[in-house]
Structure 1
Amino acid sequence: MSFVAVTDVFQSYGQRPIIERINVAVDEGEFISIVGASGCGKSTFLRLLLAQERPLRGEIRIDGAPPAQEPGLERGIVFQRYSVFPHMTVRENVVAGECFRKPWGRFFGAERKAARARADETLDRCGLDHVAEQYPATLSGGMQQRLAIGQALAAKPRILLLDEPFGALDPGTRLSMHDFLQDLRTETGMTVFMVTHDLEEAFKLGDRVLVFDKPRWDPHDPNAYGATITYDFDARDGGIPFQRLRETGMTIAEGL
């Protein structure tokens, strides 16, 4: 049985279909990259995986459980812009990520001391232990994004959802974040879904690359149909499509 099973999922906003006929099965520990043109429902798909939204039709099951009705601790998400608390120190941000597991959202006494120790372990893993007492505004873009990922990991999710997490970073920082994410994934064994507009990044990091596109198109009404998964590439060992696109310089649309 697949760890993540998406079956015949449709989603619309009002009368406008966004995605349709989404079917995909993902094994635990796989890294799934998601690419496609703007407006093709990639971020909508992440919100459905998070259970922030519920599909119009179809269902999403995690590890065979009934479809979730709301976001849960088994799924963490990181956005392009640094989703951390600016009024908290770096360590407090990571502790806050773990607080979601508490009924009252707070730790006290010995529990708080233990949570701070676990936060320090997470910060060491993220390479941020030396800035634990600083505030996010004092950190570089790459360090803030490491913190956002560390905060998401504090709740020990089984699935990590990344919505263009490196889009705002400079090229050098972006490459270092690639290494960080690959090491983290090897260490934790998490299942990862990552939306990106960078085709090379998608094939470099992903085990599979899902391409979202609209196979049906009405020139008189561009919003008449939703997008679906038009290609599901095995990206391990670089992947033939990746090599062909990089060597010829073709765009996604031309290469596919």
Structure 2
Amino acid sequence: MLEARNLWKRYGDKVVLEQINLKVKEGEFITLVGASGCGKSTFLKMLLGTETLSSGELLLDGQPIPAEPGADRGIVFQQYSVFPHMTVLQNVMAAKGFQRPGLTGWLFGAAKRQARDEAMVMLREVGLENAHSLYPAELSGGMRQRLAIAQALLGKPRILLLDEPFGALDPGIRADMHELVLRLWREHQLTVFMVTHDLKEGFYLGTRLWVFDKTRHDPQAPHAYGASITYDLAVGNTDHRTFEKIDQSVTLTEKETDKLYEIN
């Protein structure tokens, strides 16, 4: 379904990602971990189409991924991507309207009724049916993330992109969201890419875990080299020593990583 061939991403003289080579089958749940600033979210944005690669190839079904977001790729961010002036129902219906041609995305007549019916079905799936008339400010953090997921799924995407969607949630709510995402992944037969800083979360949710890290370092030019995928693990096949090594690298910030290699 997805393939990257010698993918590189640079911002001016700063190399963020280098030599990314991978293949992903439809239906996999990929979790992405790594130190802060190592390019995980940048890679997610390239999948979405809001960032372009500097060199190499990123292919979806054998064709270059379009350089703009599309209905086949839905995304949920850590910061709730909802419209504060709209009700829960209106927010989800808006996701349907944005798929229509034209500048406004307004829905009328039969199209509006159909969008409302589909939105209510999706709200029922994520447990927000009884909150459809509330505004985002009246929702808890977990409910707002449920709303963002409903928005992303209403367009029936093949690929769901999750950029640290549960990082700001309390542990109990986070556990509920884990179960929700796993259920929706199976029911909608999605291919999921999820960025997380929580290694245990990555192993719990994913069928496959990628670790982004730098393999080359220059103390005199810390941005001369970018991160690549240093581990590509099938979940359930990781020994404890490897887990601890990955966990230590994930908790480092980009600045701490550069300093560590400068000292060594």
TM-score range (shorter-chain normalised) is over 0.9
Q: Which amino acid aligns with 2:205?
A: L
Deviating above 4 A after TM superposition, structure 1's stretches of 4 or more consecutive aligned residues are 243-246
* Percent sequence identity over aligned pairs: 54
The TM-score, its normalising length taken from structure 2, stands at 0.90
Report the Cα distance in structure 2 between the residues aligned to 1:78 and 1:252, rounded to whole angstroms: 27
Distance 1:91 1:227, change over 3 A: same
**RMSD across aligned C-alpha pairs, in angstroms?**
1.6
Query: Are the equivalent residues in 1 in contact too, given 2:80–2:144 (CA < 8 A)?
Result: yes
The TM-score, its normalising length taken from structure 1, stands at 0.93
Which residue is 2:34 aligned to? 36
Report the Cα distance in structure 1 between the residues aligned to 2:101 and 2:245, rounded to whole angstroms: 52
1:170 aligns with 2:166: no
Report the Cα distance in structure 2 between the residues aligned to 1:122 and 1:55, rounded to whole angstroms: 34
- Map Cα deviations across residues 178-233 of structure 1 (whole Å, 9 max, x no partner): 00000110100110000000000000000100000000011222111100001100
Report the Cα distance in structure 2 between the residues aligned to 1:82 and 1:225, rounded to whole angstroms: 33
1:5 aligns with 2:3: yes
- Map Cα deviations across residues 146-202 of structure 1 (whole Å, 9 max, x no partner): 100110111111101111000000111111100000011010011000000000000
Which residue is 2:201 aligned to? 201
Report the Cα distance in structure 1 between the residues aligned to 2:245 and 2:216, rounded to whole angstroms: 26
Counting matched residue pairs gives 248
1:119 aligns with 2:115: no
Distance 1:76 1:218, change over 3 A: same
Residues 1-256 of structure 1 aligned to structure 2 (within 5 Å): 3-104=1-102, 105-235=105-235, 238-241=236-239, 243-244=240-241, 251-253=247-249
Query: Are the equivalent residues in 1 in contact too, given 2:95–2:154 (CA < 8 A)?
Result: yes
Report the Cα distance in structure 2 between the residues aligned to 1:240 and 1:158, rounded to whole angstroms: 28
Query: Structure 2: where are the runs of 5+ without partners?
Result: 251-264
- Map Cα deviations across residues 52-88 of structure 1 (whole Å, 9 max, x no partner): 1110101111122333121111111111010000100
Query: Are the equivalent residues in 1 in contact too, given 2:202–2:209 (CA < 8 A)?
Result: yes
Secondary structure at the aligned position of 1:94 is classed as: helix
Cα deviation, residue 250, structure 1: 7.8
Q: Which amino acid aligns with 2:98?
A: F
Cα deviation, residue 240, structure 1: 2.5
Distance 1:23 1:200, change over 3 A: same
